[in-house]
């Protein structure tokens, strides 16, 4: 396949940034999207030009490092996958592909397609810890009865990889889906109930401080989330927040 790429180039956080055109040829449909960018970068390197900076690590949909807004969608046109799992067979010969960073005030651009998502780390840090008795009288976790339904919901919430696609897809740049997944994975388990009040209050406060927008129930986040995190988690977080505020 021969493709035309329009890629966001931005030298650093202060640079205004702009779209730059590149042509790439002989792209195999079996390549991953990031491998296609690797080929482009090799070519730029060989020509002595600055390669395009983009985030990645595991390249198997686990770590949450890869990002990219591809043709207007976080993680591109496929569903239930991260950018590293997107394959070039999703595109046609002659296509023009627009590649931009995840855009949100709380995710400032570092360079080109790399954004700073450390606001997510600070929200998780604000959530604190869970109390586990390690005094020698520790109860075997398997001996604590948990309803199967709740265990499954907690596990589903815990599959959030913190990629930020929910924020990038939201017209308000809201982080509610991410934060609600992190609140829910503990709120649904007895081990997480001990600090549940402080956790939800502190995480929501931090989320607001970091400059994320409010949720207006558009639902784009759920559609674009590579892990299928459900909007039900936002409803659960709102209930947790309400009860915590009344205590
Ligand atoms: S909720 Fe989904 S889209 Fe948002 S950070 Fe977690 S995995 Fe990514
Ligand atoms: S590089 Fe790890 S999820 Fe894409």
Q: For residue 159, give the ligand nearest its CA.
A: 1
Phi-psi region of 231 (alpha: psi -120 to 50; beta: other; left: phi over 0): alpha
Report how far residue 73's alpha carbon sits from residue 29's, in angstroms, rounded to the nearest whole number: 20
Does residue 150 sit in the same domain as residue 80?
A: no
Best of 37, 54, 55, 58 to mutate for ligand 2, by most ligand atoms within 8 A of CB? 58
Cα 150 to Cα 154, 183, 184: the distances in Å are 6, 14, 10
Does residue 161 sit in the same domain as residue 141?
A: yes
- pLDDT for 247 equals 86
Number of domains present in the structure of the chain: 2
Does residue 121 sit in the same domain as residue 213?
A: yes
CA of 225 to the centre of ligand 1 (A): 5
Residue-number span of the structural domain to which 127 is assigned: 117-246
Q: Is the CB of 153 under 6 A from ligand 1?
A: no
CATH of the domain at 81: 3.10.20.30
- pTM equals 0.95
Does residue 229 sit in the same domain as residue 133?
A: yes
- pLDDT for 140 equals 83
As a whole number of Å, the CA-based R_g of the chain is 20
Domain boundary among the residues 111, 132, 156 is at 111
Domain boundary among the residues 111, 132, 163 is at 111
- pLDDT for 133 equals 75
Protein residue closest via CA to atom 2 of ligand 1: 225
Which residues contact residue 101 at a Cβ distance below 8 angstroms, ignoring those fewer than 6 apart? 8, 10, 67, 68, 69, 107, 109, 112, 113, 114, 115
Report how far residue 106's alpha carbon sits from residue 212's, in angstroms, rounded to the nearest whole number: 6
Does residue 224 sit in the same domain as residue 160?
A: yes
Cα 47 to Cα 40, 135, 151, 246: the distances in Å are 11, 62, 54, 63
CA of 180 to the centre of ligand 2 (A): 21
Q: Is the CB of 182 under 6 A from ligand 1?
A: no
Q: Is the CB of 34 under 6 A from ligand 2?
A: no
Best of 37, 38, 55, 66 to mutate for ligand 2, by most ligand atoms within 8 A of CB? 66
Protein residue closest via CA to atom 8 of ligand 1: 163
Q: Is the CB of 56 under 6 A from ligand 2?
A: yes
- pLDDT for 132 equals 79
Report how far residue 116's alpha carbon sits from residue 176's, in angstroms, rounded to the nearest whole number: 18
Q: Is the CB of 164 under 6 A from ligand 2?
A: no
3-state secondary structure 170-197: CCCCECHHHHHHHHHHHHCCHHHHCCHH
Which pLDDT tens digits describe the chain residue by residue (247 residues)?
999 999 999 999 999 999 999 999 999 999 999 999 999 999 999 999 999 999 999 999 999 999 999 999 999 999 999 999 999 999 999 999 999 999 999 999 999 999 999 999 999 999 999 887 788 888 888 888 999 999 999 999 999 999 999 999 999 999 999 999 999 999 999 999 999 999 999 999 999 999 999 999 999 999 999 999 999 999 999 999 999 999 8
CA of 235 to the centre of ligand 1 (A): 16
Domain boundary among the residues 111, 141, 156 is at 111
- pLDDT for 43 equals 97
Best of 62, 102, 160, 226 to mutate for ligand 2, by most ligand atoms within 8 A of CB? 62
């Amino acid at each position: 396949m021969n493709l035309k790429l329009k890629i966001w180039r931005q030298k650093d956080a202060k640079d205004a940034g702009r779209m730059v055109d590149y042509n790439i040829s002989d792209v195999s449909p079996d390549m991953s999207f990031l491998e296609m960018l690797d080929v482009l970068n090799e070519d730029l390197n060989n020509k002595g030009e600055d390669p395009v900076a983009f985030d990645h690590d595991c390249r198997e949909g686990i770590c949450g490092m890869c990002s990219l807004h591809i043709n207007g969608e976080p993680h591109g046109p496929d569903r239930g996958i991260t950018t590293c799992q997107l394959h070039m067979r999703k595109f046609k010969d002659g296509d023009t592909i627009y590649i931009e960073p995840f855009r949100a005030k709380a995710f400032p651009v570092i360079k080109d397609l790399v954004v700073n998502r450390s606001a997510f780390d600070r929200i998780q840090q604000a959530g604190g810890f869970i109390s586990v008795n390690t005094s020698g009288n520790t109860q075997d976790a398997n001996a604590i009865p948990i309803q199967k339904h709740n265990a499954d919901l907690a596990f589903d919430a815990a599959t959030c990889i913190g990629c930020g696609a929910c924020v990038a897809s939201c017209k308000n740049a809201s982080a509610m889906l991410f934060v609600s997944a992190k609140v829910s994975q503990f709120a649904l388990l007895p081990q997480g109930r001990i600090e549940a009040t402080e956790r939800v209050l502190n995480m929501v406060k931090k989320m607001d401080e970091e400059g994320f927008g409010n949720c207006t129930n558009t639902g784009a986040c759920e559609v674009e989330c590579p892990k299928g995190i459900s909007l039900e988690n936002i409803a659960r977080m709102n209930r947790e927040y309400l009860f915590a505020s009344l205590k």
